[in-house]
Amino acid sequence: MSTLSERILGAAAGEYVDRKVDRAYAHDGTGVLALEAWKEMGGDRLGKETGYYIQFDHIVPANNGTTANLQHELRDFAKSSFMQFSDIGCGICHQLMGEGAVLPGEIVVGADSHSVTLGAFGAFATGVGATDMAAIWLTGETWFRVPESVGIHLTGRLTGAAEAKDLALAYVGKLGTDGATYQALEFVGEGTRHLSMDERLVLANLSVEAGAKAGLFYADDVTLRYLKEHGQDASVQDYEPCSYRHELDLDLSDIVPLVAVPHRVDTVKPVDALAGMPLDQVFVGTCTNGRYSDLARFARLVRDRKVAVRTIVVPASASVLEKAIRTGVLADIIGAGCTIGTPGCGPCLGYHMGVLGEGEVCLSTANRNFRNRMGVGGEIYLGSVATAAASALAGEIASPEAG
Protein backbone atom coordinates (compact mmCIF):
# COMPACT_ATOMS: atom_id res chain seq x y z
CA MET A 1 0.00 0.00 0.00
CA SER A 2 1.02 3.59 -0.54
CA THR A 3 2.19 6.19 1.92
CA LEU A 4 0.12 9.37 2.17
CA SER A 5 2.76 11.28 0.17
CA GLU A 6 2.59 8.64 -2.58
CA ARG A 7 -1.21 8.82 -2.60
CA ILE A 8 -1.30 12.60 -2.88
CA LEU A 9 1.48 12.82 -5.47
CA GLY A 10 0.07 9.82 -7.36
CA ALA A 11 3.33 7.95 -7.87
CA ALA A 12 5.71 5.66 -6.04
CA ALA A 13 8.63 6.82 -3.90
CA GLY A 14 11.69 7.63 -5.98
CA GLU A 15 9.73 8.67 -9.09
CA TYR A 16 9.97 12.20 -10.50
CA VAL A 17 6.63 13.82 -11.30
CA ASP A 18 5.29 17.15 -12.52
CA ARG A 19 2.25 18.19 -10.53
CA LYS A 20 -0.19 21.05 -10.50
CA VAL A 21 0.08 22.97 -7.25
CA ASP A 22 -3.22 23.63 -5.45
CA ARG A 23 -1.93 26.48 -3.29
CA ALA A 24 1.28 28.45 -3.52
CA TYR A 25 2.37 31.14 -1.09
CA ALA A 26 5.32 33.42 -0.47
CA HIS A 27 6.13 36.08 2.10
CA ASP A 28 7.87 39.44 2.13
CA GLY A 29 11.23 37.73 2.57
CA THR A 30 11.13 35.34 -0.37
CA GLY A 31 8.51 37.08 -2.52
CA VAL A 32 10.85 39.88 -3.56
CA LEU A 33 13.31 37.52 -5.26
CA ALA A 34 10.46 35.41 -6.66
CA LEU A 35 8.96 38.48 -8.32
CA GLU A 36 12.32 39.37 -9.84
CA ALA A 37 12.80 35.82 -11.19
CA TRP A 38 9.21 35.67 -12.50
CA LYS A 39 9.71 38.89 -14.47
CA GLU A 40 12.99 37.56 -15.87
CA MET A 41 11.20 34.37 -16.93
CA GLY A 42 8.79 36.52 -18.93
CA GLY A 43 5.89 36.30 -16.47
CA ASP A 44 3.12 38.77 -17.12
CA ARG A 45 -0.06 37.47 -15.49
CA LEU A 46 -0.96 34.61 -13.18
CA GLY A 47 -3.22 31.68 -14.04
CA LYS A 48 -6.41 31.12 -12.02
CA GLU A 49 -6.14 27.40 -11.38
CA THR A 50 -3.77 27.65 -8.45
CA GLY A 51 -4.57 29.59 -5.30
CA TYR A 52 -1.78 32.17 -4.97
CA TYR A 53 -1.06 33.99 -1.75
CA ILE A 54 1.40 36.58 -0.52
CA GLN A 55 1.62 37.27 3.20
CA PHE A 56 3.78 39.93 4.82
CA ASP A 57 5.10 38.42 8.04
CA HIS A 58 8.90 38.53 8.24
CA ILE A 59 9.71 42.22 8.72
CA VAL A 60 6.44 43.77 9.84
CA PRO A 61 5.91 46.66 9.87
CA ALA A 62 8.85 47.65 7.64
CA ASN A 63 11.82 48.69 9.76
CA ASN A 64 13.61 51.03 7.35
CA GLY A 65 13.49 52.58 3.90
CA THR A 66 15.09 49.66 2.10
CA THR A 67 12.60 47.15 3.48
CA ALA A 68 9.72 49.57 2.86
CA ASN A 69 10.69 49.96 -0.80
CA LEU A 70 11.00 46.19 -1.32
CA GLN A 71 7.62 45.65 0.34
CA HIS A 72 6.05 48.46 -1.67
CA GLU A 73 6.98 46.78 -4.95
CA LEU A 74 5.77 43.34 -3.83
CA ARG A 75 2.56 44.78 -2.38
CA ASP A 76 1.77 46.51 -5.69
CA PHE A 77 2.36 43.25 -7.56
CA ALA A 78 0.23 41.21 -5.16
CA LYS A 79 -2.66 43.68 -5.38
CA SER A 80 -2.56 43.98 -9.16
CA SER A 81 -2.60 40.20 -9.74
CA PHE A 82 -4.88 37.38 -8.63
CA MET A 83 -2.88 36.98 -5.44
CA GLN A 84 -4.68 36.82 -2.13
CA PHE A 85 -2.72 39.39 -0.23
CA SER A 86 -2.31 39.64 3.54
CA ASP A 87 -0.57 42.83 4.58
CA ILE A 88 1.46 43.51 7.74
CA GLY A 89 -0.24 42.41 10.92
CA CYS A 90 -2.45 39.72 9.37
CA GLY A 91 -0.07 37.07 10.58
CA ILE A 92 2.46 34.37 9.72
CA CYS A 93 1.99 32.82 6.28
CA HIS A 94 1.80 29.23 7.59
CA GLN A 95 -0.72 30.21 10.26
CA LEU A 96 -2.93 32.03 7.75
CA MET A 97 -2.83 29.06 5.36
CA GLY A 98 -3.83 26.92 8.33
CA GLU A 99 -6.86 29.04 9.23
CA GLY A 100 -9.08 27.27 6.71
CA ALA A 101 -7.22 27.63 3.40
CA VAL A 102 -5.41 24.28 3.13
CA LEU A 103 -7.46 21.08 2.79
CA PRO A 104 -6.57 17.38 3.07
CA GLY A 105 -5.10 15.84 -0.08
CA GLU A 106 -3.91 19.12 -1.57
CA ILE A 107 -0.45 19.88 -2.90
CA VAL A 108 0.77 23.02 -1.17
CA VAL A 109 4.05 24.79 -1.82
CA GLY A 110 5.35 27.72 0.16
CA ALA A 111 8.47 29.79 -0.38
CA ASP A 112 9.58 29.13 3.18
CA SER A 113 11.09 26.05 4.78
CA HIS A 114 8.38 25.83 7.44
CA SER A 115 5.68 25.31 4.82
CA VAL A 116 5.81 21.70 6.04
CA THR A 117 3.52 22.92 8.86
CA LEU A 118 0.45 22.44 6.64
CA GLY A 119 1.07 18.70 6.44
CA ALA A 120 -0.89 18.63 9.70
CA PHE A 121 -4.05 18.78 7.54
CA GLY A 122 -3.16 15.74 5.43
CA ALA A 123 -1.85 17.90 2.60
CA PHE A 124 1.49 17.38 0.89
CA ALA A 125 3.07 20.67 1.91
CA THR A 126 6.67 21.56 1.27
CA GLY A 127 9.02 24.51 1.03
CA VAL A 128 10.90 25.84 -1.99
CA GLY A 129 13.09 28.81 -2.77
CA ALA A 130 12.19 31.97 -4.65
CA THR A 131 13.00 30.84 -8.21
CA ASP A 132 10.96 27.64 -7.84
CA MET A 133 8.08 29.81 -6.62
CA ALA A 134 8.49 32.08 -9.65
CA ALA A 135 8.18 29.04 -11.94
CA ILE A 136 4.98 28.03 -10.10
CA TRP A 137 3.60 31.54 -10.67
CA LEU A 138 4.50 31.04 -14.33
CA THR A 139 3.11 27.54 -14.89
CA GLY A 140 0.94 26.57 -11.89
CA GLU A 141 3.02 23.44 -11.41
CA THR A 142 6.37 22.12 -10.30
CA TRP A 143 8.39 18.91 -10.22
CA PHE A 144 8.74 16.62 -7.22
CA ARG A 145 10.74 13.57 -6.38
CA VAL A 146 8.19 11.44 -4.55
CA PRO A 147 9.80 10.94 -1.13
CA GLU A 148 10.32 7.80 0.85
CA SER A 149 8.68 8.13 4.24
CA VAL A 150 9.65 7.77 7.86
CA GLY A 151 6.80 6.40 9.97
CA ILE A 152 6.56 8.01 13.39
CA HIS A 153 4.29 5.80 15.45
CA LEU A 154 2.71 7.61 18.37
CA THR A 155 1.10 5.88 21.32
CA GLY A 156 -0.33 7.13 24.61
CA ARG A 157 -1.02 10.69 25.73
CA LEU A 158 1.06 13.64 26.82
CA THR A 159 1.13 13.99 30.59
CA GLY A 160 2.08 16.62 33.16
CA ALA A 161 3.58 19.79 31.68
CA ALA A 162 4.77 18.07 28.47
CA GLU A 163 3.58 19.70 25.25
CA ALA A 164 3.59 18.85 21.56
CA LYS A 165 6.72 21.03 21.35
CA ASP A 166 8.56 18.68 23.69
CA LEU A 167 7.43 15.73 21.57
CA ALA A 168 8.66 17.54 18.47
CA LEU A 169 12.06 18.24 20.03
CA ALA A 170 12.18 14.59 21.11
CA TYR A 171 11.76 13.27 17.56
CA VAL A 172 14.17 15.80 16.06
CA GLY A 173 16.67 14.76 18.74
CA LYS A 174 16.25 11.12 17.81
CA LEU A 175 16.32 11.59 14.03
CA GLY A 176 19.03 14.28 13.96
CA THR A 177 19.03 17.39 11.77
CA ASP A 178 19.44 15.35 8.59
CA GLY A 179 17.77 12.14 9.73
CA ALA A 180 14.95 12.55 7.22
CA THR A 181 16.66 14.44 4.39
CA TYR A 182 14.84 13.94 1.04
CA GLN A 183 12.12 12.00 2.95
CA ALA A 184 8.69 12.72 4.41
CA LEU A 185 7.56 12.08 7.97
CA GLU A 186 4.20 10.44 8.57
CA PHE A 187 2.74 10.72 12.06
CA VAL A 188 0.56 7.67 12.66
CA GLY A 189 -0.78 5.49 15.46
CA GLU A 190 -3.43 5.80 18.14
CA GLY A 191 -1.45 8.57 19.87
CA THR A 192 -2.33 10.94 17.01
CA ARG A 193 -6.01 10.78 17.94
CA HIS A 194 -5.38 12.61 21.20
CA LEU A 195 -3.54 15.47 19.50
CA SER A 196 -5.43 18.67 18.67
CA MET A 197 -4.90 20.45 15.35
CA ASP A 198 -2.70 23.00 17.11
CA GLU A 199 -0.53 20.19 18.48
CA ARG A 200 -0.31 18.50 15.07
CA LEU A 201 0.75 21.80 13.52
CA VAL A 202 3.65 21.97 16.00
CA LEU A 203 4.77 18.43 15.13
CA ALA A 204 4.55 19.02 11.38
CA ASN A 205 6.29 22.39 11.74
CA LEU A 206 9.48 20.88 13.17
CA SER A 207 9.76 18.16 10.50
CA VAL A 208 12.06 20.31 8.37
CA GLU A 209 14.43 20.50 11.37
CA ALA A 210 15.03 16.80 10.77
CA GLY A 211 15.63 17.62 7.10
CA ALA A 212 12.23 16.30 6.00
CA LYS A 213 10.51 17.41 2.82
CA ALA A 214 7.10 17.13 4.45
CA GLY A 215 5.48 16.00 7.69
CA LEU A 216 2.00 14.58 7.35
CA PHE A 217 -0.94 13.55 9.51
CA TYR A 218 -3.90 11.65 8.07
CA ALA A 219 -7.03 13.82 8.17
CA ASP A 220 -9.46 12.47 10.78
CA ASP A 221 -12.39 13.71 12.86
CA VAL A 222 -10.16 16.20 14.66
CA THR A 223 -9.08 17.68 11.32
CA LEU A 224 -12.63 17.82 10.00
CA ARG A 225 -13.97 19.49 13.12
CA TYR A 226 -11.24 22.15 12.96
CA LEU A 227 -11.86 22.79 9.26
CA LYS A 228 -15.62 22.99 9.87
CA GLU A 229 -14.98 25.71 12.46
CA HIS A 230 -13.07 27.52 9.71
CA GLY A 231 -15.90 27.11 7.20
CA GLN A 232 -14.53 24.17 5.22
CA ASP A 233 -15.84 20.70 4.47
CA ALA A 234 -13.42 17.84 3.92
CA SER A 235 -13.20 14.05 4.06
CA VAL A 236 -11.09 11.82 6.28
CA GLN A 237 -8.06 10.02 4.88
CA ASP A 238 -8.01 6.37 5.93
CA TYR A 239 -4.66 5.02 7.00
CA GLU A 240 -3.55 1.94 5.09
CA PRO A 241 -0.59 -0.10 6.25
CA CYS A 242 2.37 0.81 4.07
CA SER A 243 6.09 0.36 4.06
CA TYR A 244 8.27 3.00 5.66
CA ARG A 245 11.96 3.43 5.07
CA HIS A 246 12.52 3.95 8.78
CA GLU A 247 10.22 3.75 11.74
CA LEU A 248 10.32 5.52 15.06
CA ASP A 249 8.11 4.61 18.02
CA LEU A 250 7.30 7.30 20.56
CA ASP A 251 5.17 6.85 23.65
CA LEU A 252 3.71 10.26 24.44
CA SER A 253 3.49 9.42 28.14
CA ASP A 254 7.31 9.19 28.24
CA ILE A 255 7.78 12.76 27.01
CA VAL A 256 9.14 15.28 29.53
CA PRO A 257 9.79 19.00 29.03
CA LEU A 258 12.86 19.40 26.82
CA VAL A 259 15.13 22.17 25.60
CA ALA A 260 17.24 22.27 22.42
CA VAL A 261 20.55 23.90 23.33
CA PRO A 262 22.68 26.13 21.05
CA HIS A 263 23.28 25.85 18.17
CA ARG A 264 21.44 22.77 16.98
CA VAL A 265 17.82 21.73 17.14
CA ASP A 266 18.81 18.08 17.63
CA THR A 267 20.91 18.63 20.76
CA VAL A 268 18.06 18.12 23.15
CA LYS A 269 18.21 17.92 26.94
CA PRO A 270 15.62 17.67 29.72
CA VAL A 271 14.78 21.14 31.05
CA ASP A 272 15.86 19.96 34.49
CA ALA A 273 19.44 19.58 33.24
CA LEU A 274 19.55 23.30 32.38
CA ALA A 275 17.56 24.73 35.27
CA GLY A 276 19.15 27.86 36.68
CA MET A 277 20.72 29.11 33.45
CA PRO A 278 20.26 32.92 33.57
CA LEU A 279 18.21 34.46 30.77
CA ASP A 280 18.14 37.88 29.14
CA GLN A 281 14.99 37.36 27.08
CA VAL A 282 12.03 35.04 26.67
CA PHE A 283 10.16 34.90 23.38
CA VAL A 284 6.77 33.27 22.86
CA GLY A 285 5.42 33.11 19.34
CA THR A 286 6.27 31.98 15.75
CA CYS A 287 4.78 29.43 13.36
CA THR A 288 5.64 26.84 16.01
CA ASN A 289 4.03 28.23 19.16
CA GLY A 290 2.22 31.50 18.49
CA ARG A 291 -1.34 30.12 18.29
CA TYR A 292 -4.23 31.01 20.56
CA SER A 293 -3.87 27.81 22.60
CA ASP A 294 -0.21 28.72 23.21
CA LEU A 295 -1.01 32.25 24.34
CA ALA A 296 -3.85 30.99 26.55
CA ARG A 297 -1.56 28.42 28.17
CA PHE A 298 1.13 31.04 28.73
CA ALA A 299 -1.40 33.49 30.19
CA ARG A 300 -2.74 30.87 32.60
CA LEU A 301 0.77 30.26 33.93
CA VAL A 302 1.81 33.92 34.37
CA ARG A 303 -1.56 35.36 35.44
CA ASP A 304 -1.34 37.59 38.54
CA ARG A 305 2.43 37.18 38.66
CA LYS A 306 5.35 39.17 37.20
CA VAL A 307 7.97 38.01 34.75
CA ALA A 308 11.56 38.46 35.94
CA VAL A 309 13.13 38.96 32.52
CA ARG A 310 12.09 40.88 29.37
CA THR A 311 9.47 38.78 27.64
CA ILE A 312 8.14 39.29 24.12
CA VAL A 313 4.90 37.64 23.05
CA VAL A 314 3.93 37.73 19.37
CA PRO A 315 0.57 36.29 18.24
CA ALA A 316 0.80 34.18 15.09
CA SER A 317 -2.07 36.01 13.41
CA ALA A 318 -4.55 38.83 13.76
CA SER A 319 -7.31 36.36 14.62
CA VAL A 320 -5.14 34.89 17.38
CA LEU A 321 -4.58 38.41 18.69
CA GLU A 322 -8.26 39.30 18.42
CA LYS A 323 -9.30 36.17 20.33
CA ALA A 324 -6.63 36.78 22.96
CA ILE A 325 -8.06 40.27 23.50
CA ARG A 326 -11.64 39.04 23.60
CA THR A 327 -10.95 36.32 26.16
CA GLY A 328 -8.74 38.39 28.45
CA VAL A 329 -5.64 36.33 27.67
CA LEU A 330 -3.81 39.37 26.39
CA ALA A 331 -4.61 41.39 29.52
CA ASP A 332 -3.13 38.60 31.65
CA ILE A 333 0.02 38.53 29.55
CA ILE A 334 0.48 42.30 29.63
CA GLY A 335 -0.42 42.37 33.33
CA ALA A 336 2.45 39.97 33.98
CA GLY A 337 4.85 42.48 32.45
CA CYS A 338 5.29 41.04 28.96
CA THR A 339 5.33 43.11 25.79
CA ILE A 340 3.37 42.32 22.62
CA GLY A 341 4.56 42.44 19.00
CA THR A 342 2.75 42.79 15.69
CA PRO A 343 1.38 39.42 14.49
CA GLY A 344 4.13 37.86 12.39
CA CYS A 345 7.43 36.03 12.78
CA GLY A 346 8.73 38.51 15.37
CA PRO A 347 12.30 38.11 16.65
CA CYS A 348 12.74 34.54 15.33
CA LEU A 349 14.87 35.54 12.36
CA GLY A 350 16.86 38.22 14.16
CA TYR A 351 16.32 41.14 11.92
CA HIS A 352 14.06 43.87 13.17
CA MET A 353 12.81 43.38 16.70
CA GLY A 354 13.86 41.49 19.80
CA VAL A 355 17.39 41.06 18.45
CA LEU A 356 19.82 39.62 21.00
CA GLY A 357 22.98 41.45 22.03
CA GLU A 358 26.34 39.74 22.24
CA GLY A 359 26.42 37.14 24.98
CA GLU A 360 22.69 37.42 25.64
CA VAL A 361 20.66 34.27 26.20
CA CYS A 362 17.08 33.73 25.04
CA LEU A 363 14.58 30.99 25.79
CA SER A 364 12.39 30.86 22.71
CA THR A 365 9.37 28.84 21.61
CA ALA A 366 10.56 29.02 17.98
CA ASN A 367 12.03 26.21 15.90
CA ARG A 368 15.63 27.30 15.15
CA ASN A 369 18.56 28.01 17.42
CA PHE A 370 21.28 28.37 14.79
CA ARG A 371 24.35 30.39 15.66
CA ASN A 372 23.73 34.17 15.51
CA ARG A 373 20.18 33.69 14.19
CA MET A 374 18.57 36.13 16.62
CA GLY A 375 21.61 38.41 16.75
CA VAL A 376 25.39 38.12 16.60
CA GLY A 377 26.72 36.41 19.72
CA GLY A 378 23.26 35.65 21.12
CA GLU A 379 22.38 32.17 22.33
CA ILE A 380 19.01 30.54 21.73
CA TYR A 381 17.46 27.74 23.79
CA LEU A 382 14.27 26.27 22.31
CA GLY A 383 11.48 25.05 24.54
CA SER A 384 7.75 24.75 25.06
CA VAL A 385 5.27 27.43 26.06
CA ALA A 386 5.09 26.10 29.62
CA THR A 387 8.89 26.10 29.86
CA ALA A 388 8.88 29.68 28.54
CA ALA A 389 6.35 30.71 31.19
CA ALA A 390 8.21 29.06 34.07
CA SER A 391 11.50 30.51 32.83
CA ALA A 392 10.07 34.02 32.32
CA LEU A 393 8.80 34.04 35.91
CA ALA A 394 12.11 32.77 37.26
CA GLY A 395 14.40 34.86 35.04
CA GLU A 396 16.34 31.69 34.34
CA ILE A 397 15.62 28.40 32.64
CA ALA A 398 13.11 26.63 34.86
CA SER A 399 11.10 23.46 34.60
CA PRO A 400 7.36 23.92 34.17
CA GLU A 401 6.94 20.91 36.42
CA ALA A 402 8.78 22.43 39.39
CA GLY A 403 6.10 24.96 40.34
Partner 1 sequence: MQGRGTAVCLPADIDTDIIIAGRYLRTKDRSIWATHVLEDLDPALAPRLKGAVIVAGKNFGCGSSREQAVVALREAGVVAVIAPSFARIFFRNAINIGLPLIESDLACEEGSTVVFDLSGGWVDAGGKRHTIRPLSPRMQEILRAGGLVEYWRAHR
What does the binding site for partner 1 look like in residue numbers (CB under 8 A)?
A: 16, 29-30, 32-33, 36-37, 40-42, 59, 64, 66-67, 70, 111-113, 127-132, 134-135, 138-139, 143, 145, 177-178, 181-182, 211, 213, 264, 349-351, 368, 370-373, 376
* Nearest residue to 376 via CA among 364, 358, 394, 392: 358
Between 14 and 270, CB nearer to partner 1 = 14
User: Least distance to partner 1 from the beta carbon of 245, Å?
Assistant: 15
* Nearest residue to 389 via CA among 306, 330, 325, 324: 306
User: Least distance to partner 1 from the beta carbon of 212, Å?
Assistant: 9
Q: What's the CA gap between 380 and 356, in Å, rounded?
A: 9
Return the ∠ at Cα 97 (arms to 67 and 154), rounded to 5°.
120
Could you tell me whether strands 379-382 and 310-313 are parallel, antiparallel, or unpaired per DSSP bridges?
A: unpaired
Q: What's the CA gap between 109 and 94, in Å, rounded?
A: 11
User: Least distance to partner 1 from the beta carbon of 119, Å?
Assistant: 15
Given a contact cutoff of 8 angstroms between Cβ atoms, the answer to whether 248 and 174 are in contact is yes
User: Least distance to partner 1 from the beta carbon of 132, Å?
Assistant: 6
Q: Is 284 helix (H, G, I), strand (E, B) or coil?
A: strand
User: Least distance to partner 1 from the beta carbon of 227, Å?
Assistant: 26
Beta bridge partners of residue 265, listed in sequence order: none
User: Least distance to partner 1 from the beta carbon of 27, Å?
Assistant: 10
Counting Cα atoms < 13 Å in the Cβ hemisphere of 382 gives 32
* Nearest residue to 260 via CA among 247, 273, 246: 273
Counting Cα atoms < 13 Å in the Cβ hemisphere of 325 gives 8
Q: Is 308 helix (H, G, I), strand (E, B) or coil?
A: coil
Between 163 and 379, CB nearer to partner 1 = 379
Q: What's the CA gap between 333 and 295, in Å, rounded?
A: 8
CB-based burial label for 48 (10 Å; 0-12, 13-18, 19+): exposed
Between 34 and 302, CB nearer to partner 1 = 34
Between 147 and 290, CB nearer to partner 1 = 147
User: Least distance to partner 1 from the beta carbon of 370, Å?
Assistant: 4
Between 139 and 327, CB nearer to partner 1 = 139
Between 73 and 322, CB nearer to partner 1 = 73
Between 179 and 383, CB nearer to partner 1 = 179
Between 34 and 158, CB nearer to partner 1 = 34
- How close are the terminal C-alpha atoms of the chain, in Å? 48
Given a contact cutoff of 8 angstroms between Cβ atoms, the answer to whether 400 and 161 are in contact is yes
Q: What's the CA gap between 19 and 125, in Å, rounded?
A: 13
User: Least distance to partner 1 from the beta carbon of 50, Å?
Assistant: 16
User: Least distance to partner 1 from the beta carbon of 234, Å?
Assistant: 27
Between 32 and 103, CB nearer to partner 1 = 32
